[in-house]
Amino acid sequence: MGYYDLNGERASRMAEQYGGTAYGALEELLEDPQIDAVSVCTANNTHAAVTIRALEAGKHVLCEKPMAVTIGECERMVEAARKNNRRLMIGMNQRFAGAHVKAKELISQGAIGKILTFRTAFGHSGPENWSVDAGNGSWFFDRERAVMGVMADLGVHKTDLIQFLTGGCVTEVTARLVTLDKKDPSGTPIAVDDNAFCIYRMNNGITGTMTASWTYCGEEDNSTVLYGTEGIMKIYHSPEHSIEIIDRSGGRKFLDIGRIQTNDRQTNSGVIDEFIDALEQNREPPSAAAMYWRPCGPCLPPPRPRRRGERWRFWRMSEWGWNVSFVFSKLNES
Ligand SMILES: NC(=O)c1ccc[n+]([C@@H]2O[C@H](COP(=O)([O-])OP(=O)(O)OC[C@H]3O[C@@H](n4cnc5c(N)ncnc54)[C@H](O)[C@@H]3O)[C@@H](O)[C@H]2O)c1
């Protein structure tokens, strides 16, 4: 086992705490034949480069979300995994949360009939409150290193989740990405989004909303509500129950499978276990990049630099029929 971090002290601390080697350079880690697999958990803008280097060095890779920051990077990562015959998994841990696994099973058994609409949300008070570099100078607020804001941090999770739960693929997006409150150390509004409001239409006809926020203070929201022809399913919607099912006549059923982890209450996300199991069993891991990246594409940023207030529609990857419309707006701009 080993660690590499641009900040060498952090790698050394990890080695002291968990055992293993702290490497002075990424190449040293990648050249070590004892290392079979690499977990890439660096800033967003480096995911693709580090992942591709590791794959080229013959390592399997678990890459954190967002998978990358452009469609081209995603393509190159998938190609590097294919060419080097290595596994590449993306850390979409919402899929492994107990109530999400159970909800998927119940949905497939018709617990609420055919799903028509949904609303899903992920919000907390912002990464500057818990990142290792806490404070407004956090890389999460820096457009160069983060590239996207809350959409990359939280939006990608719920975008993946809704596709996982419904078995569909987002093909049409109308979104407004805004910077409402977060400021950089100079007091200027950050150049990435701190709130994202999206309407998703899926290839199975389901339409719903996904919101992601860094300005929900006091309590996290990690909830999903699915509206079907036979009832409603609420997941992680109240602290009391993991899943609540309401039938057409108002009857309620509750399932208690524990609470989802929060920034303050970290539990095992299941991602590492799934990755290791897949490697040991020589099979594709869940959220394998080759399957994952196209459906996640609609929430990657547009192919050119964003200008605030700019409005556009763009179409990409015609075989998936994406039809994406994003609006980025200035602080307090209506
Ligand atoms: N799946 C999840 O739920 C989840 C949760 C948290 C973070 N993440 C993702 O993990 C990544 C890291 O987030 P974090 O909260 O741990 O950030 P962090 O700032 O707390 O830690 C990142 C670390 O990476 C190091 N680093 C940055 N660029 C590097 C590079 N090129 N080479 C080596 N080291 C580098 C930094 O020095 C720092 O120690 C982000 O992309 C984030 O989106 C995913």
- 46 CB-near residues (< 8 Å, 6+ apart): 40, 145
65 C-beta closer than 6 A to ligand 1: yes
Mean pLDDT of the chain: 87
Q: Is the predicted pLDDT of residue 300 greater than 50, yes or no?
A: yes
Mean pLDDT, residues 126-133:
84
Closest CA to 156 of 307, 10, 308, 299: 299
pLDDT in tens, 236-284: 999 899 999 999 999 999 999 877 777 777 778 889 999 999 999 999 9
Mean pLDDT, residues 2-18:
97
Higher pLDDT, 270 or 48: 48
Higher pLDDT, 263 or 304: 263
Residue 232 in contact with residue 226, Cβ under 8 Å? yes
Confidence at residue 26, expressed as pLDDT on a 0 to 100 scale: 97
Mean pLDDT, residues 178-204:
91
Lowest-confidence range among 111-120, 161-170, 211-220? Answer: 161-170
Higher pLDDT, 49 or 313: 49
Q: Is the predicted pLDDT of residue 30 greater than 70, yes or no?
A: yes
Q: How many whole angstroms separate alpha carbon 307 and alpha carbon 198?
A: 19
- 106 CB-near residues (< 8 Å, 6+ apart): 112, 233, 243, 245
Task: Compute how many other C-beta atoms are within 10 angstroms of the C-beta atom of residue 143.
Answer: 15
128 C-beta closer than 6 A to ligand 1: no
Mean pLDDT, residues 125-138:
87
CA distances from 21 to 1, 13, 36 (A): 6, 10, 14
- Structure tokens belonging to residue 315: 């179409």
Closest ligand 1 atom, residue 92 Cα: 1
5 C-beta closer than 6 A to ligand 1: yes
Domains defined along the chain, listed by start:
98-261+311-329 (3.30.360.10)
Closest CA to 45 of 84, 73, 4: 73
42 C-beta closer than 6 A to ligand 1: yes
Higher pLDDT, 198 or 176: 198
Higher pLDDT, 170 or 63: 63
Q: How far is the CA of 137 from the centre of ligand 1 (A)?
A: 14
Q: How far is the CA of 238 from the centre of ligand 1 (A)?
A: 30
Residue nearest to atom 1 of ligand 1 (CA): 91
Q: List phi, psi (to 5°) of 211.
A: -125, 145
Give whichever of 87-101, 125-139, 175-189 has the largest mean pLDDT: 87-101
Q: How far is the CA of 72 from the centre of ligand 1 (A)?
A: 21
Q: Is the predicted pLDDT of residue 127 greater than 90, yes or no?
A: yes
7 C-beta closer than 6 A to ligand 1: yes
CA distances from 141 to 111, 131, 189 (A): 41, 11, 9
Mean pLDDT, residues 199-214:
93
Q: How far is the CA of 130 from the centre of ligand 1 (A)?
A: 12
Q: How far is the CA of 134 from the centre of ligand 1 (A)?
A: 12
Using the Cα atoms of residue 246, residue 252, residue 253 and residue 257 in order, give the sign of their dihedral. Answer: positive
Residue nearest to atom 31 of ligand 1 (CA): 46
Output the CA torsion 259→262→265→270 (10° steps): 70
